[in-house]
Structure 1
Amino acid sequence: MKGQSMKVVQHLEELRKAIIITLGIFLLFFLLAFIYVQDIYHLLVKDLPFKLALLGPSDILMVYLMIASVVALAATMPIAAHQVWRYISPGLTAKERKVTLAYVPALFILFIVGISFGYFILFPLVMSFLMSLSDDMFTTFFTTEKYFRFLLNMTLPFGFLFELPVVIMFLTSLGIINPYLLTKIRKYAYFVLIITSVIITPPDFISDILVIIPLLLLYESSITLSKFVYNRQQKAKDKLVV
């Protein structure tokens, strides 16, 4: 009983250490991003065909905080993933540790790909569509805070959603899930993804469709990648039996 208590304390201590390291790295990147936040801001708004307005002195500070937070989050992602790997690695075999470590850079890359998809592809399409609804009937007037909140809603969620295939492969390699389970719960997963797309997009049908389609493709690609990992594991087990 005492030994089990010691193990629990050690696990909690390791978890606390991982959280502190991750938060420390996040704060460091946040400070660095905040130093250069004006340069990042000008880079993001340089091609806008309209000027952004401020309704209050605190608006620009909120925007700077949002930009610095997103930059810090993206930079911290591989560190956070590595800390998670370090926390669970003692319970893995040497081969499993080697395999799962390879997922760390993939998480960061897909996070950046997801944000890039939202920023360079989805955001311009949705923005253009919404602007076309005015049909020169209204004067374009965007506040800085609302514009960047809209931008973040169209980009940041995709940074996390695009990591779905890697997370699925990781959980499959650990034996927690398999492609047959993913296929069985497909309709429930579709429902969750559709609800997610409705929540993170503006209230119009076109935006929902533009988000739903890539999310469903991500899930289907996750099943395919899960099958690849699962079949490779089964072949390795069969060789050991022989």
Structure 2
Amino acid sequence: MLNESKSEELSREELAMTLFEHIGELRKRIIYILIVLVLGLILGLFLADPAYSYLMSQEPVNGMKLHALSLWDGIGLYMKFALVIALLFVIPFAFFQLWAFVKPALREREQRAALTFVPMALVLFLGGLSFSYFVVFPMAFNFTTDVATHLGLEETYGVTQYFSFLFSVLIPISLLFELPIVIMFLTQIRILNPVRLRKMRRLAYLILVVLGTMITPPDFISDMLVAVPMIILYEISVFLSGVVYRKQQARDAAWEEEFGT
């Protein structure tokens, strides 16, 4: 009895140590991400000026005068640009840190497969930026200006208001484009599977439609032009999750056949 109680105490201590080690490791990864975020913001401050000049030379703002309505508008604008530029570095680095955190629990082949998600995260984020800037934002901008013209309003825009509107469209859509990577990664580490995703399909559709209506002008066409690609992205995510899951099942079956259950 005495030996059993001692072994139980040791197992509890080992479990507590393992838990604290995981928390410490997670804390270290989060600190790394915050450091890269700060460095990305600093770099973004240097790149904000050429990025601002480029956007001001493009439609629909090309030739339109924007006004500073506050002494802080210029500084706030630099910070907004710096944040978007920093996300280009933070998102793939955050995926890499997440991979490094769960790496000990993965088999060697799963580690290599999960590592490929890091560059894919950057590609999808850039794809989301392109889609939101060249498709969704002009549609949203034209809708709002048409309403102002219909009401006979003189259009005078503050630079902060314009770019806040721009980034409120760009950032959410760009982050939603990471959905396939997130689902594939969670499938790779065996948290999600395609069966569960198919059961969640109706709820997922509802959430995506609601998000689409929140970041677009209040008209049916605009909502559908955003919601439909989001739903397609979800279905692509389910398909890719199925690909990962079937490979896992095949590897597990081969493992059991070779070494037993």
Separation (CA, whole Å) in 2 of partners of 1:43 and 1:238: 54
Letter in 2 for 1:113: G
The number of equivalent residue pairs is 242
Letter in 1 for 2:107: T
Matched, 1:144 2:155: no
The runs of 5 or more residues in structure 2 that have no matched partner are: 1-11
Letter in 2 for 1:148: F
Matched, 1:167 2:182: yes
Letter in 2 for 1:13: G
Secondary structure in 2 matching 1:31: helix
1:154-178 CA-partner distances (Å, limit 9, x unpaired): 1111221111111112222222222
1:56-85 CA-partner distances (Å, limit 9, x unpaired): 111121111111011112222111111111
Secondary structure in 1 matching 2:70: coil
Separation (CA, whole Å) in 1 of partners of 2:159 and 2:92: 30
Partner of 2:132: 118
Matched, 1:186 2:201: yes
Counterpart contact for 1:153–1:201, Cα < 8 Å: no
Letter in 1 for 2:194: P
Partner of 2:220: 205
Letter in 2 for 1:66: K
Counterpart contact for 1:50–1:140, Cα < 8 Å: no
The runs of 5 or more residues in structure 1 that have no matched partner are: none
Partner of 1:36: 47
Partner of 1:18: 29
Is the radius of gyration larger for structure 1 or structure 2? 2
Flag as ranges the 4+ runs of structure 1 deviating above 6 A: none
1:35-70 CA-partner distances (Å, limit 9, x unpaired): 232222111112323111111111121111111011
Secondary structure in 2 matching 1:36: helix
After TM superposition, the score normalised by the length of structure 1 is 0.92
Separation (CA, whole Å) in 1 of partners of 2:254 and 2:107: 18
Cα drift, residue 135 of structure 1: 4.0
| Cα RMSD for the two superposed structures | 1.8
Matched, 1:71 2:82: no
Give the percent of matched residue pairs that are identical in Structure 1 and Structure 2: 37
